[in-house]
Amino acid sequence: MSDDAHWPDLPYAAWSGTSETLQLWMQIAGKVVLELTPLVNHWWNVTFHLTARGMAKRAIPYRGGVFDIVFDFVDHRVEIQSSDGRTESLPLKPMAVADFYDEFMQRLERLGIDAHIWTTPCEIEDSIVFDQDRTHAQYDAEYVTRFHQALIRSARIMGDFRSRFVGKVSPVHFFWGSFDLAVTRFSGRTAPPPKGVTPNVAPWVMAEAYSRECSSCGFWPGNGGFGHPAYYVYAYPEPEGYGHQRLNIGEASYNKDVGQFILPYDAVREARHPDALLSDFLQETYAAAADLAKWDRAALERRA
């Protein structure tokens, strides 16, 4: 790992409107993916993956062919690329969610792709259905580019962390519902369905997401009322005493309100060795969960 990369300043207050709008746009695209792809454990079939220029979902099956949905955060466009050679494009600019929904669905129709989605946003309190939402219409290209660069730097460290686990582990991927980059390790044991309520998400959906014991880490920009970008780690089900673990990393702590260990993004960005700080945070919080829950670490982890 290298500490040479610049970690961009990303104050959530400066681009919260853009973040909320972009999340809703990506939910529209993500729900098309949900409609057309077969279920993969924990809903991994619906996630987006980072690219050098943005995020994409590749090879979505449709009537004997496939198509890609690509969010380009360099030229600020979303492209729908079909395996028959045709492409449709839509500029990313200030635009009401209702207009984006209409334009995006029209471009799918031009490619002969018929997709019908539930137009209620997921995992967002007091949401407005996509085709009626004229409240969210901001798009600040500069901050979207910064967000993408922060994701790239985060994914690099998270990918290295992922590589040290030989058990079942997710890709480093982006969830459009909660709007976060995540990677999850699994012990191999089953887990009980979660008891909480997630806005506009059926209990069986969350039961699938958390059907196996896991330790998950990620990065999100501060949406959902949190207010600032941060890295998180949680264990499900949370082993007894997990929230009381003392970390060697002074910048990180357990947040009882969200039930997760939190490391502020700014602490990483401003650190002398940001890569090492983030890597240590991911490892220390995972190890605490795995030890308390008595995971078979010798079998699950790669030894040097």
Helix (H) or strand (E) holding 153: helix 141-163
Q: Would you call 217 exposed, middle or buried from its count of C-beta atoms within 10 A (0-12, 13-18, 19+)?
A: buried
Residues 279 and 155 in one domain: yes
Confidence band, pLDDT 50/70/90 cuts, at residue 303: confident
212 and 195 fall within a common domain: yes
- Cβ neighbours for 83, distance < 8 A, ≥ 6 positions apart: 65, 66, 67
Q: Radius of gyration of the chain from Cα atoms?
A: 19
Q: Which residue, of 110, 132, 154, is where some domain finishes?
A: 132
CA distance 157 to 134: 37
- CB 78, CB 86: distance < 8 Å: no
Residue 7 lies in a domain: no
Q: 164-183, pLDDT tens digit by residue?
A: 999 999 999 999 999 999 99
Rounded to the nearest angstrom, the gap between the alpha carbon of residue 282 and the centroid of all alpha carbons in its chain is 16
Number of residues assigned to the chain: 304
Asked whether residue 199 is assigned to any structural domain, the reply reads yes
Query: Quick one: CA dihedral 77, 56, 139, 176, positive or negative?
Result: positive
Provide the residue range defining the domain that includes 156.
141-300
The verdict on 172 and 55 lying in the same domain is no
Closest CA to 14 of 138, 153, 155, 100: 138
**Residues 181-238: tens digit of each pLDDT:** 999 999 999 999 999 899 999 999 999 999 999 999 999 999 999 999 999 999 999 9
**Same domain assignment for residues 278 and 150:** yes
Looking at the structure, do residues 28 and 67 belong to the same domain, yes or no? yes
If 0-12 CB within 10 Å is exposed, 13-18 middle and 19+ buried, where does residue 161 land? buried
**Residue 296 and residue 154 share a domain:** yes
Do both 102 and 162 map to the same domain? no
- Is 4 a domain residue? no
Choose the final residue of a domain: 132, 164, 182.
132
User: 0.95 cut: is pTM over it?
Assistant: yes
Let me know if residue 278 belongs to a domain: yes
- Do residues 76 and 200 both lie within one domain? no
Cα–Cα distance for residue pair 135/24, rounded to 1 Å: 11
For the stretch 42-94, pLDDT in tens is 999 999 999 999 999 999 999 999 999 999 999 999 999 999 999 999 999 99
Give the Å distances, CA to CA, from 237 to 38, 142, 187.
27, 39, 11
Mean confidence (pLDDT) of the chain: 97
When pLDDT is averaged across residues 131-144 and rounded to a whole number, the result is 98
Query: In the listed set 102, 132, 162, which residue is the last one of a domain according to the structure?
Result: 132
Q: Is 3 within a domain?
A: no
Residues 191 and 273 in one domain: yes
**Do both 154 and 102 map to the same domain?**
no
The verdict on residue 9 lying in a domain is: no
What's the domain count of the chain? 2
Task: Evaluate if residue 22 carries a pLDDT over 50.
Answer: yes
